[in-house]
Amino acid sequence: MLKRVILIAADEGQKAAVEKMRENMGDRRVDIYYMDKARALNGMQFGIRHNARNSSGAVLAEEILTLGDCAKDRILFVTDSPSALHKLQERGRYVAAWLHENNQQEDLSGAIYAVADIGELDWQSLEKIYLRLAGKPWTVMETERCVIREMTVEDVEAFYRIYAEPSITYYMENLFPEMEAEIEYTKSYIEKIYGFYGYGLWSIVCKENKEVIGRAGLSWRAGFDMPELGFVIGVPYQRKGYAYEVCRAIVTYGQEELGFERIQALVREGNRASICLCRKLGFLREDRVEDKGVWYERYVLYKK
């Protein structure tokens, strides 16, 4: 988890917004340094401001660049300076660009993530950026018995155990025959789907034993105009209420956090367990649709 944020500011005119950010962070650790633009970065000095843990005056830029060498994956840098951004990236630091009205002409295009309205930021937003840059999964939500988080490549082995049961793939598509192909697919999914949408299919982890017991989430099927609920629960955990518990939390998240007015579920004919679950969740049968040669009963949940 994120332990520390280091803000490197080139524009001292942003002090009010920076101070508001500090207030929003409460007792979280945020260190703030202001740059002297008149010097090249390698010899530049940073004056320390609003830093309760250190009031020693100015430090060299190189010292800042080496901060956290022993705990790199616990620190996120944020800067409005292109030179600081590039130097931090060269050192392999996790860094986000800070955009404001006075640096709109600066080239901060090298940043994967950027923040604006820094005075409105909260710790959770910065932690999500750090997790994405560090390649670590977001925990999306928790239910009474489960943690719902983003998939990782380490989860793939558990997926193969789950999908090895013939009843799992009777009504849904199987994984790739080779685990290496599934791992590559999962890597691409994490990068492109989570990175672009911020949601998708997630792993379900049982709190009691920390095992991955299935996956579920919201995604978009090509050719359809509403997101789709998808879910699979491993056989040992079926008929124990896990699917309902998890899917209820997910559709609530989709409606309240993602703003979806409609969510569909496509169920193959004869899949009575999924039909019963959809009805229990409040989905209504809409029609019968075809996708890639397969016919489905379409159930839709409307936001009240």
Q: Residue 209 contacts by C-beta under 8 Å, 6 or more apart in sequence?
A: none
Q: Pick the residue with more confidence: 34 or 50?
A: 34
pLDDT band at 42; cut points 50, 70, 90: very low
Q: So what's the pLDDT on residue 150?
A: 98
Domain 139-302 fold is Aminopeptidase (3.40.630)
Is residue 82 within 8 Å of residue 114, measured between CB atoms? Answer: no
- What share of the chain in percent tops pLDDT 70? 88
Average model confidence (pLDDT) for the chain? Answer: 88
pLDDT band at 48; cut points 50, 70, 90: very low
pLDDT band at 284; cut points 50, 70, 90: very high
Residue range 209-219: average pLDDT?
A: 98
Residue range 92-99: average pLDDT?
A: 93
pLDDT band at 31; cut points 50, 70, 90: confident
Q: So what's the pLDDT on residue 52?
A: 36
Residue range 272-291: average pLDDT?
A: 96
pLDDT band at 91; cut points 50, 70, 90: confident
Task: Express each pLDDT in 139-180 by its tens digit.
Answer: 999 999 999 999 999 999 999 999 999 999 998 899 999 999
- Residue 261 to residue 247: CA distance in whole angstroms: 16
Q: Is a pLDDT exceeding 50 seen at residue 50?
A: no
Domain with CATH 3.40.50 in the chain: 4-133
H or E element in which residue 18 lies: helix 15-24
- Residue 85: count other Cβ atoms within 10 Å of its Cβ: 26
Domain 4-133 fold is Rossmann fold (3.40.50)
pLDDT band at 51; cut points 50, 70, 90: very low
Q: So what's the pLDDT on residue 199?
A: 96
Task: Express each pLDDT in 178-206 by its tens digit.
Answer: 999 999 999 999 999 998 899 999 999 99
- Residue 248 to residue 255: CA distance in whole angstroms: 11
Domain with CATH 3.40.630.30 in the chain: 139-302
For residue 231, list its beta bridge partners.
Answer: 216
